[in-house]
Amino acid sequence: MTALTSSTPARTERQYHVSWADAGPFLALVALLVIGFLVNPDFLSATNLGNVVTRSAYVAIIAVGATFVISSGGLDLSVGSMVAFIAGITIMFMNMMAPSLGLWAIPAGMAMAVAAGLLCGLANGLIVTVGRIEPFIATLGTMGIFRALITYMTNGGTIPIDRSLREAYRPVYFGTLAGIPVPILISAVVASIGAFVLYKTKYGRKCAAVGANEDVARYSGISVIKTRTIAFVIQGVCVAVAAICYVPRLGAATPTTGVLWELQVITAVVIGGTALRGGKGHIWGTVAGAVILELIANLMVLSDFVSEYLVAAVQGVIIIIAMLVQRFSK
Amino acid sequence: MSLAMRFETDTGTLPARPERQAEPVLRAEGLSRKYGPVTVLSDVTLDILPGEIHAIIGENGAGKSTFMRLLSGYIEPTQGMLSMAGNRVRFTKPDQAQAAGIALVHQEILLAEALTVTDNLFLGRELTRGGLVDDKGMRHVAAAKLAEIGCAVSPTSLVRDISLADRQLVQIARALLDEHRLVIFDEPTAVLTGEEVERLLAIIFGLKSRGIAVLYISHRLDEVQRLADKVTVLRDGKMVGTYPGHSLSQFDMARLMVGRELAALYPQKRAVRTNQPMLSVRNARVPGYVQDVSFTVHKGEILGFAGMIGAGRTELFEGILGLRPANAAIELNGSPVHIRSQREAMDAGIGYLTEDRKGKGLLLQEELAPNLTLSALARFHPGLMVRRRSEAQALAQAVSSYDIRVKSLNVKAGQLSGGNQQKLLLAKVLLTEPSVVVIDEPTRGIDIANKAQIYAFIQELVAQGKACVVISSEMQELVGICDRIVVMREGRISGEVSGEAMTESNIALLATSERGHDVDPGGKL
């Protein structure tokens, strides 16, 4: 295009300004640490914090995927059941392969987990996009399906991992690398990859555009179906990674594995600053959100203010407050 | 219940008296409205007399809607006052204006589609009997009211099952249900066809004969000329003046609306049109909207598409460009192309600027750069990653090439004025380097200075050897910039005009009448 009117080129420097909304989750995190210290000085001990962050790793990993789904305008309620289902499949596969493959059954099982996550995510995605079913309903359905399948597979009991594999697999949850627990490292890697994809790649742009305004995306030549389906697939893979970290913790899958994780995951995303109606996603906010949830649960255990049996109630209150804040801060 | 229609004004005696002596139903004095530092309406003073049809005309953005919203209590004036029958009134909410006898017929159809006609008429003000909703009573009143305005739908039909024109009538019935002394019509004929317009005009004359004052907001000058006792012209938020209706020709009105800039608005036509077909469409069909449309646009040509709202122009192009299901044989530069999605249309070299800039064109919450490159991500960022550096350069380039006025390059698209948004959208589409550009309503809701610039840009495009299709509801605009104009009516092409025959009246005839060339032009106006 030739210059139709000539004028001095505008300045192209970019200012990076941090808004309160972006900084919110991190400020809340700091505030929680201070409160925790005041309640019980042991709270800030390296051991306790290490444990808390390690426990938050699964939710953080799954929530990174959920950030993509929610950012693209979807919602996935099936993540909790999907973790249990994939954990079950993975353990059964590893146990089956152990006699022939020996310890190689572990990486084979991990690959199996990722493949299963990919397919579960793809199924969710296609039901939502090609089937044009509301994400809420579609994933409510698959949530029931995955939960029933794990209950069926375990026959109502547990599927324990084969004794021969247990020791070798343990470090994936209990091990440390350079003093940092492995689950924390894995979630940091997952979050970094997620942030890279969401902020630096074309796919991330498309994802935010589809979530912000589906029509604008469509009129801009972006395939809404492809973009949303991929978001669900990313979610499935994240769930698989979380399942891989989860299996060595208890060494078994049970029908109650991952119960109510969808609440924690969606709460983490929302308090992390991603709007539930779609649009720009906040990966690091999501991670902070996951840690905040686990810190609160930990505080409830360490203090005697509120019974720890009320953890889910507190998380429910938090997501509602976070939604109210989003509504009224507009 | 105040729903029984009683008109205590001196209806019977009014027509006999000379007009001047009647107390105005509504008087606006020095009415102004600002949004922050921006004045959208300044110093409007006028009287509306009983039994008078007072038209407000002006271009898009002239302040007509703001004025209407001030009168009906949706917004409050920042300066000036309103009085009714000599008493000062202040409306802070629409119900207050309604209670004072001001009925507003909205431009958009605001009805609940899943409810019946009766339910809609009484929505929020249901008749009750002994504490229960009195369905029978409401149906009765609804039937009477519908009959009064000549609407044949049954009070028990669901709104989703009745035609657009009937919905408009239901909306009018709803407005007239309350006692009213002044009825405001905001662009009521936008969705109506010729015969339906006649029915509406008859309703309005009926109101007048009963001594009701009517404020008629429109940019359809032929209707205004037939209806109006007085015409008030607004331009750029200011009042140009109030004139006796019959003293103005349509040309006078257009001149007053546009002002001195009329001549300068459209660029000098340049003969860059060639005979080389660029985009040729045969037998396009869009189910429910368009039947069997064929046309060709040539290199260097600006082809206009005129027609009433609902004629299927937008749907035709959305169909051709893969945005809605359609069948068409498309040839681009002589070779057949198959387009199933907007992406394929862009890749083939056809760009489309939607008429719905805010809803489908731009991400209002996003900054300018991501908006600019959204259609051209693949072309613009080869490889996996987004290149912010080249994106920033492209934005700087677009801002200067298209004269997009921004305070900073980091603002969000929603913060730009309508004109600047439109220029950003144009830049966005042109970033995909199309050889054919389809522009739907190029200047809707933007001011005159920006309009002139957009017209110049369109001309620049064809001068570069592109082909351009302009869809517009403003006939004057099409006549001003196009080489040739295709007119559509009810999903078909009803005619084509070019050269000397390219006049607003010829287009209007083709757009509204069954067989345009058979109708006597004198009888229509």
Q: Do residues A54 and A181 make contact, with C-beta atoms less than 8 angstroms apart?
A: yes
B342 touches chain A (CB under 8 A): yes
Report the distance separating Cα A296 and Cα A311, nearest Å. 8
Q: Using the 8-state DSSP alphabet, how is residue A8 labeled? A: P
Q: Is B463 on the interface with A (CB under 8 A)?
A: no
pLDDT band at A119 (very low <50, low <70, confident <90, very high): very high
Which residue ranges make up each domain of chain A?
21-31+40-328
Is residue B460 less than 8 Å (CB to CB) from chain A? yes
Residues of A in contact with B393 (CB under 8 A): 12
Q: Where are the beta strands (DSSP E) in A99-163?
A: 159-160
Shortest Cα–Cα distance, A312 to chain B (Å): 34
* Nearest CB to B362 within list A15, A200, A216: A216
**CB-based burial, A14-32: b 16+ in 10 Å, e otherwise:** eeeeeeeeeebbbebeeeb
Contact criterion met (CB below 8 Å) for B404 and B398: yes
A→B interface, C-beta within 8 Å: 1-12, 14-15, 200-202, 204-206, 208-209, 212-213, 215-223, 279-280
- Does A73 have pLDDT greater than 90? yes
Asked if A4 lies within 8 A of B403 by C-beta distance, the reply is: yes
Per-residue pLDDT, A229:
96
Taking only the tens place, the pLDDT of each residue in A236-249 is 999 999 999 999 98
> How much is the pLDDT for A39?
81
Of A7, A8, A202, the CB nearest to B386: A202
Choice between B456 and A307, residue whose per-residue pLDDT is larger: B456
pLDDT score, position A237: 97
Residue B424 amino acid letter: L
Q: Which of B407, B385, B409 is nearest to B397 (CA)?
A: B409
Are residues B493 and B327 in contact, defined by beta-carbon separation less than 8 angstroms? no
Q: Does the beta carbon of B294 lie under 8 angstroms from any beta carbon of chain A?
A: no
Q: Which domains does chain B have, with CATH numbers?
A: 26-101+179-260 (3.40.50.300), 111-170 (no CATH), 266-524 (3.40.50.300)
Mean pLDDT, to the nearest integer, of A54-72?
Answer: 94
Q: Which residues of B400-413 are buried (b: 16+ CB within 10 A; e: fewer)?
A: bbbbbebeebeeeb
Tell me the nearest-neighbour CA distance from A281 into chain B, angstroms. Answer: 13
Return phi, psi of residue B447, to 5°: -80, 170
Chain-chain contact of A205 with B370 (C-beta, under 8 angstroms): yes
pLDDT at position A263: 92
Kindly determine whether residue A216 and residue B363, on different chains, have CB atoms separated by under 8 Å: yes
What pLDDT does A265 receive?
A: 95
> So what's the pLDDT on residue B224?
86
The 3-class SS string of B241-307 reads EEEEHHHCCHHHHHHHHHHHHHHHHCCCCCCCCCCCEEEEEEEEEECCCEEEEEEEEECCCEEEEEE
* A12/B392 CB distance under 8 A: yes
- A91 to chain B, minimum CA–CA distance in Å? 35
Q: Which residues in chain B touch residue A205, judged by CB atoms under 8 angstroms apart? A: 370, 374, 377, 386
Largest CA distance in chain B: 80
A to B CB pairs, distance under 8 Å: 108
Q: Among residues B58, B495, B452, B444, which one has the least CA distance to residue B304?
A: B495
CB-based contact B342 A11, cutoff 8 Å: no
Per the CB < 8 Å rule, is A222 touching B341? no
Q: How far is A260 from chain B (nearest CA, A)?
A: 33
B364 contacts in chain A (CB < 8 Å)? 213
Chain B environment of A6 (Cβ under 8 Å): 400
For residue A18, pLDDT over 70 is answered with no
- pLDDT greater at residue B91 or residue A235: A235
β partners of residue A181: A176
pLDDT digits (tens, 9 = 90+) for A123-164: 999 999 999 999 999 999 999 999 999 999 998 889 999 888
Per-window interface: B 354-383 vs A, CB < 8 A: 354, 356, 359-366, 370, 374-375, 377-378, 381
Q: For B393, which residue in chain A has the nearest alpha carbon?
A: A12
Confidence of residue A219 (pLDDT cuts 50, 70, 90): very high
Chain-chain contact of B374 with A2 (C-beta, under 8 angstroms): no
B370: chain A residues, CB-CB within 8 Å: 205, 208-209
Cβ contact (<8 Å) for B396 and A200? no
A221/B403 Cβ within 8 A: no
Minimal C-alpha gap between B427 and chain A (Å) = 9
* Higher local confidence (pLDDT), A14 or B205: B205
Q: How many CB atoms lie within 10 A of CB B366?
A: 22
Picking from A19, A197, A202 by the largest number of B CB atoms within 10 A of its own CB, the best residue to mutate is A202
* Interchain CB distance below 8 Å, A12 and B395: yes
- Region A21-31+40-328: CATH code: 1.10.3470
Q: Which two tokens stand for residue B474?
A: 């403003």
Q: List strand residue ranges (DSSP E) for B139-265, in order.
A: 182-186, 213-217, 230-235, 238-244
pLDDT of residue B149: 80
Chain B residue with the nearest C-alpha to that of A207: B374
| Cβ proximity of A154 and A256 under 8 Å | no
Q: What angle, rounded to 10 degrees, do the helices at B135-148 and B164-177 form?
A: 110
Interface test with B, best of A14, A201, A210, A219 (most B CBs within 10 A): A219
Test A11 with B356 for CB contact under 8 angstroms.
no
Nearest CA in chain B to A196: B385
**Threshold 0.80, pTM exceeds:** no
Q: For residue B192, what are the contacts with CB-CB under 8 A and spacing of at least 6?
A: B164, B165, B168, B200
Taking CA–CA distances from B395, the nearest residue in chain A reads: A12
Residue A5: list chain B partners with CB under 8 A: 400-401, 403
Minimum CA–CA partner of A215 in chain B: B360
pLDDT at A85: 96
C-beta atoms of B341 and A216 within 8 A = no
What's chain A's average pLDDT?
Answer: 87
Contact B267/A at CB under 8 A: no
What integer pLDDT is reported at residue B190 of this predicted model? 67
- Using DSSP's 3-state secondary structure scheme, residue B99 falls into helix
Q: CA–CA separation, B369 vs A278, rounded Å?
A: 20
Mark yes or no for CB contact B396/A9 under 8 Å: yes
Q: Do A2 and B401 touch (CB under 8 A)?
A: yes
The residue of chain B with its CA nearest to that of A197 is B385
Does an H or E element contain B48, and which?
Answer: strand B38-48
ipTM of this complex? 0.82
Q: Per residue in B193-205, is it b (16+ CB within 10 Å) or e — as a string?
A: bbebbeebbebbe
* B397 interaction partners in chain A (CB closer than 8 Å): 1, 9
- Interface test with chain B among A216, A225, A226, A227, by most B beta carbons within 10 Å: A216
Whether A202 shows a pLDDT value over 50: the answer reads yes
Q: A11 falls in which pLDDT band (50, 70, 90)?
A: very low
The answer, for B409 touching chain A at a CB cutoff of 8 Å, is yes
CB contact under 8 A, B401 and A217: no
pLDDT of residue A50: 87
| pLDDT tens sequence for chain B (525 residues) | 444 433 333 333 334 444 455 788 899 999 998 877 777 888 899 999 999 999 998 876 678 888 888 988 888 898 898 988 888 888 888 888 888 888 888 877 788 888 888 888 888 778 888 888 888 888 888 888 888 887 888 888 888 888 777 888 888 888 888 778 899 988 877 667 667 788 888 888 988 998 889 999 886 777 888 889 999 998 878 888 899 888 888 777 877 877 655 556 788 777 778 889 999 999 999 998 999 999 999 999 999 999 877 788 999 999 999 999 999 999 999 899 999 999 999 999 999 999 888 889 999 988 998 999 898 888 777 777 788 888 888 899 888 888 888 878 888 888 888 888 999 999 999 998 899 999 999 988 777 778 888 999 999 999 999 999 999 888 888 988 999 999 998 888 989 998 888 887 788 788 776 544 443 333 333
Residue B351, pLDDT score: 92
